[in-house]
């Protein structure tokens, strides 16, 4: 048995061998342990792995794409830009946080949505944490759906509609 130094089989070593070479993500609990609908959780999993078909990913594959972000225009469309750095998305985050009266600030300079969620969670009272988790899962999903409406249906970006 090559999976242990003693060369002895055990259920524990077999379990560890099962995950040999798999992708590790610290966001699995945030995504998969949530109550969110399966499609929202799957979207977050793909976004966390940078597997959503944004303009930068299409360009890397040599596929036809629109380079600038359709929601704000000047910057190239990446998943991080779309969900965290885009002025349109930041306005949506600000509006939703204000509407829900959450004690956190919109994402700004955090490297990922998960990093923002961890920071925001620390400053949020226990009684409001489920609401924060709901917002952190559903807001990016709605931004993605609105972006897709702009790409595929010719809709105009509207933070108010979203």
pLDDT tens digits for 34-63? 788 999 989 988 888 888 998 888 888 888
Q: How many domains does the structure of the chain reveal?
A: 1
Q: Which residue has the higher pLDDT, 95 or 106?
A: 95
Q: Would you say residue 12 lies in a domain?
A: no
Q: Would you say residue 15 lies in a domain?
A: no
Residue-range definition of the domain harbouring residue 141: 27-153
What is residue 106's predicted lDDT score, i.e. its pLDDT?
A: 85
Top mean pLDDT of 23-32, 107-116, 122-131 is at: 122-131
Q: Would you say residue 56 lies in a domain?
A: yes
Q: Would you say residue 68 lies in a domain?
A: yes
Beta carbons of 96 and 125 less than 8 angstroms apart = no
Q: Would you say residue 11 lies in a domain?
A: no
Which residues, 6+ apart, have CB-to-CB distance to 109 below 8 Å? none
Euclidean distance between CA atoms 97 and 99, whole angstroms: 6
Using CB atoms within 10 A of its CB, is residue 135 exposed (0-12), middle (13-18) or buried (19+)? buried
Average pLDDT rounded to a whole number, residues 88-113 = 88
pLDDT tens digits for 71-97? 887 888 889 889 988 999 999 999 999
């Amino acid at each position: 048995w090559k999976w242990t130094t003693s060369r002895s089989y055990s259920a524990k070593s077999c379990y560890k061998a099962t995950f040999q070479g798999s992708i590790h993500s610290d966001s699995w609990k945030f995504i998969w342990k949530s109550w969110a609908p399966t499609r929202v959780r799957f979207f977050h999993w793909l976004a966390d792995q940078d597997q959503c078909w944004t303009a930068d990913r299409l360009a890397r594959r040599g596929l036809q794409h629109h380079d600038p972000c359709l929601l704000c225009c000047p910057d190239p469309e990446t998943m991080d830009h779309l969900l965290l750095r885009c002025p349109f998305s930041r306005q949506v985050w600000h509006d939703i946080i204000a509407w829900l009266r959450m004690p956190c600030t919109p994402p700004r300079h955090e490297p990922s949505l998960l990093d923002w969620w961890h920071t925001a969670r620390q400053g949020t009272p226990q009684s409001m944490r489920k609401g924060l988790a709901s917002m952190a899962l559903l807001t990016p999903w709605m931004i993605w759906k609105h972006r897709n409406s702009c790409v595929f249906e010719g809709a105009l970006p509207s933070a108010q509609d979203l």
